């Protein structure tokens, strides 16, 4: 994404933001939800600001992904607590040891959240093919493993967020995103 693309996207986002803000404030004032439109406008502005911030973050490209398949061996599965204000509970994170191009080994985590129905395939010692993010200890399952059911992904170390859905799906939604290396 070029700098001009980002500017255009921001202009478009702010125009839509102002339209939504005006609509929400007008409707709330017309239905008597507030005596002063300023209160409604401030509340709407705060809520819409958070919404646009999250939406815009999903449009930014992810950091560099090295698109060369690497051998990975599962070394364990650990529970990682989620933020209680977002989704109470925990994620099951698959831990891997990946062989790099120079032959060295690297401990990393799998960004794909494997669904319960396929988690038993990720036993200690099982082998998988993955792609590595260049500047972080995070890996993504390669396309050859699109048969694995997932229910989200954790990208805390890459983009600062995680997505966990209730409905499992096959294939990688991460690999469909844009990367800075593309």
Quickly state the pLDDT bin for 57 (edges 50, 70, 90). low
pLDDT tens column, 3-36: 555 556 666 666 676 777 777 777 777 776 666 6
Of the chain, the percentage scoring pLDDT greater than 90 comes to 16
pLDDT tens column, 111-124: 888 888 898 999 99
pLDDT tens column, 66-107: 889 999 999 998 887 665 544 555 667 888 888 887 888 889
Quickly state the pLDDT bin for 125 (edges 50, 70, 90). very high
Q: 48 Cβ partners below 8 Å, 6+ apart?
A: 17, 20, 21, 24
Quickly state the pLDDT bin for 144 (edges 50, 70, 90). very high
Quickly state the pLDDT bin for 126 (edges 50, 70, 90). very high
DSSP symbols for the chain: --HHHHHHHHHHHHHHHHHHHHHHHHHHHHTTS-SSHHHHHHHHHHHHHHHHHHHHHHHSPBSPEEEEEEEEEEEEEEEEEPPTTT-SSEEEEEEEEEE-TTS-EEEEEESEEE-HHHHTT--TT-EEEEEEETTSSEEEE-GGGTTSEEEEEEEHHHHSEEEEEEEEEES-SSTTS-BTT-
| pLDDT for 161 | 60
**Averaged pLDDT for residues 47-59:** 68
- Residue 48 burial by CB count (10 A; 0-12/13-18/19+): exposed, middle or buried? middle
The residue count of the chain comes to 182
Whether the predicted model's global pTM rises above the 0.85 cut:
no
| pLDDT for 163 | 67
| pLDDT for 167 | 78
């Amino acid at each position: 994404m070029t700098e001009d693309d980002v500017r255009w996207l921001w202009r478009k986002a702010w125009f839509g933001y102002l339209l939504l803000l005006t609509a929400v404030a007008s409707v709330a004032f017309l239905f008597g939800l507030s005596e002063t439109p300023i209160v409604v406008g401030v509340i709407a502005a705060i809520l819409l600001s958070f919404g646009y911030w999250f939406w815009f973050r999903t449009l930014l490209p992810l950091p560099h992904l090295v698109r060369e398949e690497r051998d990975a061996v599962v070394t364990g599965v650990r529970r990682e607590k989620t933020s209680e204000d977002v989704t109470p509970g925990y994620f099951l994170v698959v831990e891997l040891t990946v062989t790099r191009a120079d032959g060295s080994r690297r401990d990393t985590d799998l960004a794909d959240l494997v669904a319960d129905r396929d988690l038993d395939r990720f036993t200690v010692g099982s082998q998988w093919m993955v792609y590595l993010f260049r500047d972080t200890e995070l890996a993504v399952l390669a396309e050859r493993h699109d048969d694995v059911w997932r229910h989200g992904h954790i990208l805390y170390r890459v983009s600062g967020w995680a997505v966990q859905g209730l409905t499992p799906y096959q294939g990688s939604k991460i690999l469909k995103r844009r990367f800075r290396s593309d």
